[in-house]
Amino acid sequence: MLKANYIIIVISLMLGSFSDEHKLPEANFLFPMDIAPRVSGSFAELRSNHFHSGIDLSTQGKVGIPVKSMDVGKVSRLKVSATGYGNAIYIAHPNGYTTVYGHLDKYAPKIDSVITAQQYKNQTFEIDYFPDETIAVTRGEVIGFSGNSGSSGGPHLHYEIRDTKTEEPVNPFPFQDIIKDDVRPKLMTIRIYPLDDGSTVNGTATAKNYELVFYDGEYHVKGSPKIYASGKVGVGIEMLDYMTGSWTKCGVNKLNMKIDGQDYFGWKLDRFSFDESRYINSHIDYAYKANHGKRFERCFKQPGNHLNIYESTSNDGIIWMDSSKTVDIQAADASKNVSNLQFVLLQEKSKPGARSTNISKLSYSSNHTLQNENVRCFIPKGALYEDANITIAAKADLKNGMIYQVGDKDIPLHKNIRISLPIPGQFKIWKDKVCLASITNAGKKEYAGGQIISDSLVLNTRNFDNYTLVVDTVGPTITAHQNIKGRVFYTNSTFAFTINDDFSGINSFNGYLNDKWTLFEYDAKSKKITCPLAKAPIKKGGKYQLKLIVKDNCGNQSTMESNFTVGS
């Protein structure tokens, strides 16, 4: 076991060309667990639709590791969810920070009693509670136990440090001295983009990838090829970071790009706003990730990207090839390990019309309504990150019926669009059982949702896709893990069930003992729902009728009933 470790921080992270606008105030934090740490996720690493807002600490496949408050404070928020952070605690500290602890298996008793009381008061498992009463915690006090709740992919502790005033997460790495990192970021591939009509890369109007290799202390383009470009071009880079003793892929903290020795474009991820996190879909090459599974981070900025992490930007990082350019890229992690890359873009004479498409694009800065006889789509201002060609169409398909194409799924959306389809006559008899499904590349139908308004099905979504109408009349299944009927159970027993829905998914569940609402706890990823009798309104020797009601997103309902006796 490690001794309690802490470090007093008054830090300014300086690295090469990087400068800090935000200086971290003094903080004196304990490490949240007394186990040798292994980082399984770093701050601000790239995730689906968001930047990771904390650090994930592996618990070596175990649950139940004590989690400590990192300093004196009071519980400011308690959140229980079947997804997301699962069981989470937020503690506000006098130093201006709030620490967050997610995916807990259980809370410490004094906190658990508060949240259980709120669950019964509101008759709901999922709850987001901001205590009116003061729940004080001391420095190093055990507040819960590590687990695998919510959307966790395995047992670990997710912990964050937030600026209490702005609610922005800040990088926890500088607030500790236990996690070691002496491994520089790994640069893997660069991608050169032609950005307007007439721009080219090596004579073509398509983006090109160039693999990178490391030798002589820095990275180089493999084979030292000559890279020609004309017009306006941008650079993207595929990279990741490792930490000492770990092969878990983490994110890079900072980047700076120079053109001909001058700062041209850079970003740093020491903090960000949750309101801006979805701009990650513009920060990366979203289409390439969707089609090839690899993330290229742009070293240029799309006009609809308002993420507040960029600095030293000239022309938003877009390079005008009026002459040959020397490009220097420096990438760094939070431990100031640095990787460098230099390459040359050679000027190529433009080929007028090489990329001309004569396609009218929709402006990212305006509202748009697209409509035909089959489908209507409203795209609000700011939903797109750049001007784009968006089409809507409908076509008959022998397998799926009518398919409604709404845009291209390779184009990311920052805001909800609204899709409206008239409900054909043969579907009207099903009323609320009709919904929209997206169609995957493999041809599988996946529930998308929708609401019936008048004679139309309306869907608010942040996904362009191919959609079709589906009728769902099948209710969820409920499978008990043990035989309950007529048996004797004790107050330390727990009933367990698997609940599943074959299409639209679980919308709600409620459990009752003798018609009195009773707490059932749900883990969405395992589809497991449990009833801990220790938290149930029961008495020794009592006889109880159990009822579990589960509904899916199309309103189909299933019920399981049984009876048992509580042993004395």
pLDDT reading at 203 higher than 90: yes
**Average model confidence (pLDDT) across the chain:** 92
What are the φ/ψ torsions at residue 426 (nearest 5 degrees)?
-70, -15
Q: What is the mean pLDDT of residues 314-327?
A: 96
Distance CA 428, CA 409 (A): 28
- Percent pLDDT > 70 in the chain is 93
Distance CA 497, CA 109 (A): 25
- Percent pLDDT > 90 in the chain is 85
| Model pLDDT, residue 25 | 58
pLDDT reading at 248 higher than 50: yes
| Model pLDDT, residue 554 | 96
At residue 512, the 3 state secondary structure works out as strand
| Model pLDDT, residue 350 | 62
Distance CA 124, CA 568 (A): 29
List the structure tokens of 291.
Answer: 């089609």
pLDDT reading at 228 higher than 80: yes
**Mind listing the domains of the chain with CATH numbers?**
6-175 (2.70.70.10), 186-347 (no CATH), 368-471 (2.60.220.30), 477-566 (2.60.40.3780)
Q: In the beta sheet, which residues pair with residue 532?
A: 494
CA dist list (Å): 40 to 29, 36, 153 = 21, 13, 11
List the structure tokens of 3.
Answer: 């001794």
| pTM of structure | 0.91
Distance CA 93, CA 75 (A): 9
List the structure tokens of 405.
Answer: 């194409």
Stronger pLDDT, 14 or 316, i.e. the higher one: 316
| Model pLDDT, residue 360 | 79
Distance CA 258, CA 169 (A): 28
Residue 68 one-letter amino acid? K
pLDDT reading at 16 higher than 60: no
| Model pLDDT, residue 510 | 98
Q: Could you report the per-residue pLDDT of 94-137, keeping only the tens digit for each?
A: 999 999 999 999 999 999 999 999 999 999 999 999 999 999 99
Name the band, by pLDDT with cuts 50, 70 and 90, for residue 36.
confident
Closest CA to 497 of 444, 451, 558, 553: 558
| Model pLDDT, residue 4 | 39
The label of the residue with tokens 């503690």 reads: 91
Q: Could you report the per-residue pLDDT of 417-474, keeping only the tens digit for each?
A: 999 999 998 888 888 899 999 999 888 999 999 999 988 999 999 999 999 999 999 9
